[in-house]
Amino acid sequence: MRIERIIPSMYQRRLLLLVGAMVLAMLAPAAWMMRLTIARADEFRAEAEKRLITQEWLPTVRGQVLDRKGRVVAIDRPTFDVAVDYRVITGEWADEMAAKAARGRSPAEWKTMSPEQRDAAIARERTVYDEHLERMWSDLARVAGITRAELDERRALVRGQVQLLATTVTERQRRERERALTRGEEGPDDDWESERVRTTDVRRPIREESEAHVLVRDASDAVGFELSRAQRQSVQDPGRPTRSMPVMPGLKVIDSRRREYPFDSMDVPLDVGLLPGTLRREEPGTLRSFRVEGVATHVLGWMRERLFKEDIERRPMRRSDGAIDLGHYRPGDSVGQGGIEQCAEDTLRGLRGVRTTHLDSGKVETTDPVRGSDVRLTIDVALQARIQALFSPQLGLTVVQPWHIPAVRPEEAPGRARAKDLPVGTALNGAVVVLDIHTGDILSLVSVPSFSHDIVMGRGKDQESRRSAIFKDAYEQAYINRPIAKPYPPGSIVKPVVLASAMAAGKYSGSERLACTGHFYSDRPLLYRCWIYKQNHTTHTDQLGHDLDGSDAVKVSCNIFFFELGRRLGPEGIHDLFERFGVGAGAERWNIFGANRSASPTPLAEEYPGSIPAPDKASSSEAVLMGIGQGPILWTPLHAADAYATLARAGVRLTPRLRADGPQHRTDLHLPERAVSQALDGLHRCANEDLGTTHTLSIELADGSKIREPLFTAPGVDVWAKSGTADAPPFIADLDFRGEHDSFDGDHAWCVLLAGHSGVPTLAIAVVIDHGGSGGKVAGPVANQVLHALLAEGYLGETHSGAAHRTAPSERPVAASNPADTRNNTNAIAGAGVAP
Amino acid sequence: MKAPLWERLTGGDTTTRHAAWLCLLGAVGLSMLGIYAIDIGSGEPPLHGPVTFTGQALRQSVYVLVGIIAAVIVALPHYRWVRWVAWPAMWGVLALLVLLLLPFVPSTLVTPRNGARAWIDLGPIEFQPSEVAKIAFVLVLADYLRYRQNHRTLTGLLPPAIIAFVPAALITLQPDLGMAILFVPAIFAMLLCAGARLKHLSVVVIVAALAAPAAYPLLKPHQRARIDGLIGMIKDSRHGADSINYQALTAQMLSGAGGLAGVSDAKARALVKFNRLPERHNDMVLAVILTRFGLIGGLGVLALYGLWFFGAYVTAALCKDAFGRLVVVGFMAIVFAQTFINIGMVLGLLPIIGLTLPFVSYGGSSMVTMWAMTGLIFSIAMRRPTRLARPTFEFDE
C-alpha cells in the first residue's frame, strides 16, 4: 500500500489520521463562524444594538377645540397622573422581593435547595410583601379619593390592556416569522402555518411589562404632592432587615394633562316674558337663569380612557414601512370618542416625543413632541347653550302641557288602536339645528337630552351608574345625537320641497289649482285624509273659498294637494326628489365633522343618511303618502334644515359643515326660479298670514276658552316657516319608573323655518320635539324662542350677515357656570353674565 | 560517574529544543485572551462604572498563575514518575467521585451547583474531581495500553472501555454529561493510535450511532429539551428565542455582531452586558471574543489552539515511548473534543451541554487541569527517548 510505503509506522499513520480528522472536523465551526460574522453580521449587529437603546416617550398636548367665536371649548390642562410599575400591579414585585429574602436568609442553604424547596421558601417570605402591597393599595385609594374596589378594577384593566397588547405584538411577530419561513414556498396552508411557528417561540416581554401604568388620572395638587412625598419614603425590608424598601413600591407621580370642557356647564339667562300663552308669567324683559349641563357634548365628544384593539390596529407603533408612528396608541392613552374628538382624532392627537438614550455612548437624542392642531368649529357655544336651555323643564316649553293634547280626537282608521297620550308634565326631548344659509355653517346642533362630560369621563361610582343610564335608557336615548343620527318621519315639513321638486319635474305647472276634497280616494273617507278634514270635517277649498295653488297648499298644509303631487311624481319621482336633497344611502353624503368620510379617521357611525325606498320597492300608494312626508321615508333634522336652506339658495345645495375648515361642496339642483319662489311664498304666507299653519298659536284652556297669539314674536325678523306633525308609531316606555311599561301615542312635532331680515333669509332652523304632538303647538313655540336666542347672541339683526361671517357681540351673553372655566375665555365672553 | 541527583530525578534527557514550546505559547495566548474576555464579560461598560479589572478577571489571572505553577510542578519530574502514580491517582479520584454522590455528605463539603454534585468545597477553594479524573484516566489507559496487543481483538476493547466507563458513569450521575462525554473521544483516539483494528472501532461507532436514539428517552428532561431546542433551531432560526434557545441564539447574535474585525472595547462591553448573554465569562466566552475581535479574533483563537495541537502532535510523533505517546494523544483528544463542543455550542451547531473553552473560560479547576496537561506534554517533549525501548503500536493493518 502506498501510504504504508510513505509512512511505514502504523502509529505515525494513525496519529496523522487523528490529526487530519481533527482539522477536518474544525472546518465546520470555522466555516459557520465565517457565515455568522460575514454573511449575517449586519443583521446580528442591528439586533444586538437594539438592546443598547432605551426609549422614553414624551407626552404631547392635545389640540384645542374652538367655537366659531374663538372660545376654547375643549382644552388639555396640567394635572397629575399616578402610575405604578407593572410588576407591582401584577404582584410580581412581591415574588421578586420574597425570592431575594429567601436567598438572603441562608445563601449556602439556598444553593442546595431543589426548585420545589425554593418555591416553598419564597412562598413563606411572600406573605409580608403581599401585606405590604395590600397596605399600599388601600393607602393609594384613600389618598386618591377612590374606593379600593375601583382601584382594583383599574389594576385589572391595566393588566388586561397590557396582555392584549402583548398578544397583538406576539401575534404580529408570529405572522412575520411565518411569512419569513414560508417565503418562496408554495400554497401556504393556514393550519400548517399555525403549527410552524408557535406563539411561545416568538413571545418576548414587551416594554409595557416593565413600565409604570397610570392608575389615577387627573389627581389634584394635594393628592399629587402627598403621593410625591410617599414616593420618596422607605421602610425596613422585613425579609432583609439590613435593607429598606419603598413605602409605595413602583409608584410614580407624573406631571400630566386632563381634557377639560370649559363650557360643559353653563348658566343661561332667558327672558321668560317672551314665553307663549300660559307659560308666560312675567313681563317681557324678565331674565331667569337656567343651568344647562352637557353643552354640546354630542358635538364635542369626550375622551375614552379604555384603549380598544381597533385603536392599536388602526395606528400601531410601527407603520407598514417599518417607521415608528409617534402618534401610535399605548396603554394609558386617551382616545377621542364621539363628536369632533373622535372625528378629528388624528388632527387633535399630536405626536408624542421620544428620548432615546444610547447605553454604550451615553448619547441622548430627543425628538420633541408635536402638539396637536387646534380645530375650529362652526357652532357658537353660547347660542348652543341658549337653545339647549329652552329644553329646561322649568321653562315648560318642552313639557307636555294640557293644551298640547287635542280635546277631540279625529276618527281613526279601522283596525288601529289608540295608545295613551303622554301624561301632562312629561319632559320632552328633541333636537334643533341652526344652519347659516350662505356658508353651510352649522351654528348650533342641539340634542336633548345631553349629558355632562363629568358623567362620561368621571370615575366615581355614582358617575358609573349615571353613565350606564345614558347608554341604557331606551326612552331618553341620550347617547343619540338626534340632529344627525335619529331617523324621523318628515311629515308636512317636506311639502315646500315636494312642491318645488314637482314643478322642477314638470309634474305641476305652478298655476294649476287643485281642489281639497277632504280625502284623497273618494270611496275611502277614512284613509289619505287632509288634516283639516280629519279634525273639522271640512276642506281647504271650502275654507279658502277656492281651489289651491302650490303657495296656498304650503300655507295651509293641504294634504290632498300633496297626495296628488306624490301620485304624479310616483315612486321614481319621489325617490329622485329626496335623493337630490341628500336623503338615502345612495345620495351624495357629507361628514359634517370632516372633509369626507374617508378623510376622517373614524367617521361617526351614528350619522344617519336617511331612508327612501328604491323606486321598484315602493308602491304608488306609498308615493302618494310620501308626498306629505309620511310612509317609508325617514330623515334627520339636519336633512330638514339643509333642504330648506337649499330652497333659500334657489336650489343650490351647500354641504353643511361643523368644522370651520371643512370644504364646501356646491351642487345646483336646477330648481326653476318659479318653483322656488312659490315654495318660499307658501312658507312666508304660512308664517305670516291668517290660516297659515305656523301663523297663530292657539291655546285651549281648561274652561274651553282659547288664547290666540302670533307664533313668531322676534322683532324685526322675517320668517318663512312650516310645521309638521309626523305620524310616528306608538312607543313603549316606563315613564313613571314604576316598572310597568305602557304604550304611548305621540307624533313627532316639527317646525322648520327660514329666518332673516329685509326679506332675505339668512338662517335655516329645524326643530323637532320627539313625540311632542302638534308641530305648530309644540315645536313652533320652541322655534320662536330659538329666534329670540339668535337675536340675543347677535344673529338675525342688521349687523349679522351669514355671508360675511360677521359675529356681533352678545347682547346678553351667557356665562360658563364654573368661574375657573372662564380663564381662557375672558375675551370670548366679555361683559357681565349671570352669576353661577 | 553517577549523574547528579537533579538529572537522575528529572531524567537527564532534558532539552530545550522541542515542540512543546508551541503548546506553551498557545496556552499562554489563550489564557491571556481569556482573562481579557472575562473582564469584558463581567465588567461594566465605561459609562456605567469605573474601568477596572474585574474580580473575576483578577481571579482568572490567579488561576492562570496557579495553572502555570501546576504545569511546572508536573513537568519537573520525569514523566515515568507520573506513570507510577497514575493508578493510585485514579483510585483516589474514583473515591472522590463516589464521595460526591453520597447523599449523607454534608452540603458544606459538597455543594450542588446548577443541580450538579460536581464540586468539593475546601473552604477557600473549590475543587472539581472530574477535571482530575480526565488526566488520571488518560494516564491509566496509557499505562494499560502501552505494551499490549489484546486491544486488537473485539473483546480486548472491553478493559479499556471499563476503565473509561467507571469514571464517566460516576460523572454522568453528578450529572455532568458534558464532562463524561470527553472520555469517549479520548479512549477512541488512544485506541486508534495504540493500534486497535479500524474495523472494530468502526463497528463500535456504528453501533453507538444506531443506539444513540434509543438513549434519548433515558436523558433527563432538560437534556432532552436542549436537543429538541437545537432541532427546532435548525428548522426555524428563532425557535425558542425566549426559552430553551435564548442562550444559544444570544451567543450566535453576539458572535455575528462582531463582524469581520469586531467592535471597540466599550461597545463590546455594552453589547455583552445589555444583551444579557448567560455564562458570558464561562461557557460562552468565545461569543465575547467574537464580539470584541470579530472573525479575525475567532480565527486567532483557532490559530492559538492550532499552535497547541501542533506542538502536541509533534511531541507525540517524535516521542519513542509508548506511555508518553498515548498520554499526549489522550490529552489532545480531550482538549480537542472540549474545544470543538464548546465552539459548536457557542455558534449554535451543538446543544448546550455546559463545557468550558479550554484555557479561556473562567474557572480554576479547568484552568489548572489544562495547564497540568500542558506541563505533562512539556515533560514528555523534554524527555522523549531518541529510540524505541521496544517496538510498540506497530501491527499489520
What residues pair up with A766 in beta bridges, in sequence order?
Answer: A433, A752
CA–CA distance, A260 with A224 (Å, rounded to integer): 18
* Residue A590: band (very low, low, confident or very high) from pLDDT cuts 50, 70, 90: low
pLDDT, greater one: B110 or A157: A157
Listed range (A79-88, A90-99, B152-161, B241-250) with the worst mean pLDDT? B241-250
What is the mean predicted confidence (pLDDT) over B315-343? 93
Is B2 a residue whose pLDDT tops 60? Answer: no
* Residue B210: band (very low, low, confident or very high) from pLDDT cuts 50, 70, 90: confident
CA–CA distance, A774 with A428 (Å, rounded to integer): 13
CA–CA distance, A212 with A46 (Å, rounded to integer): 27
Q: The whole model's pTM is what?
A: 0.67
Q: Which residues of A touch B237 (CB under 8 A)?
A: none
* Residue B5: band (very low, low, confident or very high) from pLDDT cuts 50, 70, 90: low
Q: Which residues of A touch B392 (CB under 8 A)?
A: 11
What residues pair up with A236 in beta bridges, in sequence order?
Answer: A244
- For chain B, what is the mean pLDDT? 85
Longest Cα–Cα distance in chain A: 142
Rg (chain B; Cα; Å)? 22
C-alpha cell at A293: 349641563
Taking an 8 Å cut-off on Cβ atoms, the answer to whether A360 and B347 are in contact is no
Mutate which: A5, A16, A18, A34, vs B, most B CBs within 10 A: A18
Is A600 a residue whose pLDDT tops 50? Answer: no
* Residue A197: band (very low, low, confident or very high) from pLDDT cuts 50, 70, 90: low
Is A195 a residue whose pLDDT tops 60? Answer: no
Is A478 a residue whose pLDDT tops 50? Answer: yes
What residues pair up with A251 in beta bridges, in sequence order?
Answer: A84
CA–CA distance, A587 with A665 (Å, rounded to integer): 14
* Residue A112: band (very low, low, confident or very high) from pLDDT cuts 50, 70, 90: confident
The residue behind cell 324678565 is: A286
pLDDT, position A795:
93
The C-alpha torsion from B77 through B80 and B83 to B88, rounded to 10°, is -60
Q: Please name the residue of chain A whose CA is at the shortest distance from the CA of residue B334.
A: A22
Is A53 a residue whose pLDDT tops 80? Answer: yes
pLDDT, position A642:
95
The C-alpha torsion from B149 through B151 and B156 to B158, rounded to 10°, is 150
Contact by Cβ (8 Å): B65, B368? no
* Residue A416: band (very low, low, confident or very high) from pLDDT cuts 50, 70, 90: low
Is B46 a residue whose pLDDT tops 80? Answer: no
pLDDT, position A809:
34
The residue behind cell 479500524 is: B198
What is the mean predicted confidence (pLDDT) over A385-398? 94
Nearest to B298 by CA among B334, B354, B339, B329: B339
What is the mean predicted confidence (pLDDT) over B333-357? 91
* Residue A463: band (very low, low, confident or very high) from pLDDT cuts 50, 70, 90: low
Q: Which residues of A touch B238 (CB under 8 A)?
A: 177, 201-202
CA–CA distance, A319 with A553 (Å, rounded to integer): 61
Q: Reduce the DSSP state of residue A66 to 3 states and report it.
A: strand
SS (H, E, C) A2-55: HHHHHCCCHHHHHHHHHHHHHHHHHHHHHHHHHHHHHHCHHHHHHHHHHCCEEE
Taking an 8 Å cut-off on Cβ atoms, the answer to whether A360 and B253 are in contact is no
C-alpha cell at A26: 474544525
Sheet holding A718-726: strands in order across? A442-448, A430-436, A760-769, A748-757, A718-726
* Residue B239: band (very low, low, confident or very high) from pLDDT cuts 50, 70, 90: low
C-alpha cell at B312: 502536541
Nearest to A296 by CA among A171, A446, A168: A446
Share of chain B above pLDDT 90, in %: 44
Helix/strand number for chain B, H first, E second: 15, 2
Count of A–B CB contacts within 8 Å?
A: 157
Of B232, B255, B302, the CB nearest to A26: B302
Q: Which residues of B touch A117 (CB under 8 A)?
A: none
Taking an 8 Å cut-off on Cβ atoms, the answer to whether A9 and B394 are in contact is yes
The reply to whether B84 touches chain A by the CB within 8 Å rule is: no
Q: Which residues of B touch A202 (CB under 8 A)?
A: 238, 241
Highest mean pLDDT among A45-59, A497-511, B5-19: A497-511
Residues in B 17-36 with any Cβ partner in A closer than 8 A: none
* H or E element at residue B385: none
Longest Cα–Cα distance in chain B: 74
What is the mean predicted confidence (pLDDT) over A321-328? 88
pLDDT, greater one: A180 or A629: A629
pLDDT, position B51:
60
pLDDT, position A415:
56
pLDDT, position B242:
61
Contact by Cβ (8 Å): B304, B119? no
Taking an 8 Å cut-off on Cβ atoms, the answer to whether A111 and B113 are in contact is yes
Beta-sheet strands, E only, within A607-695:
652-654, 666-668
What is the mean predicted confidence (pLDDT) over B111-120? 77
pLDDT, position B278:
83
C-alpha cell at A215: 392608575
Other CB atoms within a 10 A radius of the CB of residue B37 amount to 32
Taking an 8 Å cut-off on Cβ atoms, the answer to whether A359 and B45 are in contact is yes
pLDDT, position A407:
63
Q: Please name the residue of chain A whose CA is at the shortest distance from the CA of residue B265.
A: A360
DSSP A116-175: HHHHHHHHHHHHHHHHHHHHHHHHHHHHHT--HHHHHHHHHHHHHHHHHHHHHHHHHHHH
Taking an 8 Å cut-off on Cβ atoms, the answer to whether A48 and B254 are in contact is yes
Listed range (A151-155, A186-190, B334-338) with the worst mean pLDDT? A186-190
Chain segment B57-86, per-residue pLDDT in tens? 999 999 999 999 999 999 998 888 888 999
Contact by Cβ (8 Å): A217, A335? no
| A237-242 own/partner pairs: CB under 8 Å, 24+ apart | A237/A97, A237/A101, A238/A101, A238/A128, A238/A129, A238/A132, A239/A97, A239/A98, A239/A100, A239/A101, A239/A102, A239/A104, A239/A105, A239/A125, A239/A128, A239/A129, A240/A100, A240/A101, A240/A104
Chain segment A9-25, per-residue pLDDT in tens? 888 899 999 999 999 99
Taking an 8 Å cut-off on Cβ atoms, the answer to whether B192 and A17 are in contact is yes
Half-sphere exposure of A68 (CA within 13 A, CB side): 28
* H or E element at residue A262: none
pLDDT, position A810:
37
Residues in B 198-237 with any Cβ partner in A closer than 8 A: 232, 236
